[in-house]
Amino acid sequence: MNKGRLRFEFVLCDMLASLIVWVLFVAFRKLINDIQIFESIRFLIPNYSYLISLICFPFYCISIHYLCGFYLNPIKKSRVAEIFSTFTSSAFISISIFSIRMIKDISVSYQYFYISLLVLFGLLFIFTLSFRSIVSSKIRNNFKTRKWTVNTIIIGTGKNALKIASEFEKYARHNTLIGFISNDKHTAVPPNKVLGNLFQLDSIIEKYDIKETIIALDDADDYQLFKIINSLYKFNIEIQFTPRLYEILTGSAKIKNLDISPLVNITDSTMSDWEESVKRLFDIIISLLALALVAPFVLSFIFLIKLNSKGPVFYKQERVGRFGRTFTMLKFRTMYTGAEKGVPRLSSPNDQRITNVGRVLRKYRLDEIPQFWNVLKGQMSVVGPRPERRYYINRIIDQAPYYCLLYRIRPGLTSWGPIKIGYSDTVDKMIERLNYDIIYMENMSLLTDVKILLYTLEILFKGKGV
């Protein structure tokens, strides 16, 4: 089961469907305006305008389907969700195309437009859904015949684990329960299904190609629960756990299958698929615009940094990002070379390690500009929790084990935490900032991101960066 290949197949099907639709729609318009269509050599030999539209229309369709979030998680998408997504994107494409056509065809009656609009929408919806159904049917058939399956383990061996296992084996259509991971001596599940203990978790996940885990402990405290979650994130697998009273009351427990007890999924984004797709597009656009705008000033920054102190212009540092994976974050260097001397130290507003030029760069957050390159690479987002170093994450987890929840989203250039707290020069402040970031993550939306960007711009223009 190759997710990338399946996405490509869906894109290919959508591309082919849009090509057929556009040819049929142009033929329809010719038929309405000129009955002698098949005697017209102009249709058989495409003119320049028709050829351009034949290229642009499919790419426009693919772009809208992407922004509707269809390609993000196509494997487990239900038939109803597939129909709804196809209907929505087809309607948007049709209406937007006709908004443009009405400007050019002002002499044609409105009745013609309404009929043509319905024809385009009908063709697009029917052909797109039909071609998608070919791939979707293959996916469903592969899961039905068990050619494909999602290997799943349950962490826990008590009554709770036994209950979840019983429901999964009866009603889970995509999953195969491989076995259990023991966390204590008490065992309510069949002993032959116990694969090992928590200390063997890493090797078990790799050996059995596990794609989904369910934490079903009978009496788990927060520290134990988040310790397990933290160890799982690095595998980029789906992580769920059985809800406690708090998760039930706050609505965190979601029902995906009426026959299976509700679970809390902590790897799914709190954003909808279409919002997540649009957010990524905005990240790319904003990063390209930002880098283009500052390009004329980069040489000045480089000259001033080199003139003010010895050392490289750019500062590279390993940070922890999405799924707990490390990446190299870029910044303009604002401190003297060797400022930490091998021992991590948090910066403060009056830090003597900061150069004169660095102080100005920090004041207006100009030192963060190179991180737009990290955003373009997909390692960061424009809005998201600030990434931390592993050294400080380990110290934070000692007091706030839920830090690992931030791994579900990309870290960012700015977020609500940094706006409220500013530079965090103590672990306590970092934990306080973490709490704001957790609230942001649970309330993520495009509107929230816009508000945070506006607050950030105010900080930049007023020089409140430090």
d(CA 173, CA 140) in angstroms, rounded, equals: 9
Spans of all domains in the chain: 3-144, 150-265, 273-462
What are 190's two structure tokens? 């069949």
d(CA 246, CA 156) in angstroms, rounded, equals: 20
Find out whether 385 and 403 touch, Cβ atoms under 8 Å. no
The highest-level CATH class for domain 150-265 is alpha beta
d(CA 418, CA 423) in angstroms, rounded, equals: 7
* Long-range contacts of 326-329, Cβ-Cβ distance < 8 Å, separation of 24 or more: 326/390, 327/374, 327/379, 327/387, 329/371, 329/374, 329/379, 329/380, 329/387
The pLDDT, as a whole number, for residue 107 is 52
d(CA 319, CA 412) in angstroms, rounded, equals: 12
The pLDDT, as a whole number, for residue 38 is 41
What are 380's two structure tokens? 């960061």
Residue 178 CB partners (closer than 8 Å, separation 6+)? 151, 152, 153, 195, 208, 210
Residue 95 CB partners (closer than 8 Å, separation 6+)? 117
Per-residue confidence in pLDDT tens, the chain, 466 aa: 677 888 899 999 999 999 999 999 888 877 776 544 444 444 444 455 667 888 889 999 999 999 999 998 888 778 888 999 999 999 999 999 887 765 555 555 667 777 888 999 999 999 999 999 999 999 888 888 888 888 999 998 888 888 888 888 777 778 888 999 988 777 888 888 899 888 889 899 999 999 999 998 887 777 888 888 888 888 888 898 887 655 554 555 565 655 566 778 888 778 888 999 999 999 999 999 999 988 888 888 888 888 888 888 898 999 999 888 899 999 998 888 877 776 777 777 677 888 888 888 888 888 899 999 999 999 999 999 999 999 999 899 888 888 988 988 999 999 888 888 877 778 888 899 998 998 898 888 999 999 999 988 887 777 665 5
